[in-house]
Structure 1
Amino acid sequence: MEFIISRYNPETDSKPYDQHYHLPDAEITPDMMLLNALQKIRELDPGLSFRSSCQEGVCGSDGMNVNGQNRLSCITPLSSLSTPVKIKPLPGLPIIKDLIIDMSLFYQHYKEIDPFLQATSLNPDREHLQTPQQRSELDGSYECILCGCCSTSCPSFWWNPDQFLGPAALLAAQRFVVDSRDIMPIERLKSLDDPMKTFRCRHIQNCTAACPKGLNPSQAIQSLKAKILSHD
């Protein structure tokens, strides 16, 4: 099986370049994931750099662009990919080395939406209750693993990475705005009422197509926009 992997070492290279690799069919099992293939390739070339941790689609560390689509390598079956398999780092953010990108800006935007519950003081004699309906409002947003696949597939993020918060951050913002336990929804909406932070989204829906968890950031952003406009 053929692989074309983008390589870049800022200490020695002026720009990224493609390197070709071959794995014999005898080393590929029917259920092999892309990450397993990359680990085998790294045995051949120890200098190849990429992130991975849990290898179960939970940590989100191994996001990369595979045959033109952002994916998690650990849950991408080799059998689902056409050859040669073309692998590049997630687009739109600086490259640290090879397939490893600098996600500092991504996390900065996430931090900006205050991604924590702002609630009344806890009463140790009582649970912080929600009805089943209130709890269901969080479905489809809390499952985000911050892999960055959605934001780095978004043209609005590519064009305005320092101003547009991006799908992942806005999905998280929606999660706290709709949480019945949060006491700051209006303040959250006011902070997001900005033509670049939120309304730069054009609903191209690349983010939804790229999400490895099957979430719908585009729909969440639409809902967030509607709430902002209703409180103007």
Structure 2
Amino acid sequence: MATELVRAEQLTLERQHKTVLDNISLSLSAGQILTLIGPNGCGKSTLVKVLLGLEKVDRGTVWRAPGLRIGYMPQRLQLDDRLPLTVGGFLALSRHAKPGDIEHWLERLNIRALQQQSVHRLSGGEWQRVLLARALLNRPQWLVLDEPVQGVDVQGQLELYELIPQLRDELGCAVVMVSHDLHLVMAATDEVVCLNGHVCCSGHPDQVSVDPAYLSLFGRQPAMAHYTHHHDHAHCLDGHVEPTRGGSV
């Protein structure tokens, strides 16, 4: 059996007389990709912060494997515009940063060309990949991605969701993603937990997508075609093409 990394039991959190999390239980094992979905304000990001130990609950418990290495990609991270900082300099600020690891993840995420560019001049998709590289510097056993495709165009979203299972396989880690759109993340997910303050439904994405509780929140959504481009080269951000060792990124 896969090693259990995180276990939450009967989590309940109230704010200003409103129940934000209501009796939520879940577990996460090594190699598992779990996606939290639900409408805006349903408690997804709050649950992630509780699981990470960044926020306390009124009732319930969270257990994390001792010494668990965590890589966290927050939903938002804004830097002061007056701070002159390159992508390489930003990554070097991480307490887990080593020059070799920075080079590795810049190359692996196809953003090597951004290393000397100002963080303030990045597109939404470029910034998200930089934040992902930062989360990966710790070689995490548990990778947490809070709305990882925010500000990314549809093609970029599909590419990122293709990448996540690859990273899971390379690192042998567990992944928790936060999203509001199941039909985009289906191919990259082993298990879905649909939240609306409480767990509305959970299971394999094919099951959740036809569950009455899910349909009441989102309705029936059109299927999205997943275009997979398998090739032996990569299109880098500075325009040049480089050979790769194992297919698409």
- Does TM, scored on the shorter chain, surpass 0.5? no
Q: TM-score range by the shorter chain?
A: under 0.3
Compute the TM-score of the two structures, normalised by the length of structure 1: 0.23
1 or 2, which has the higher strand percentage? 2
| Larger Rg over CA atoms | 1
Compute the TM-score of the two structures, normalised by the length of structure 2: 0.22
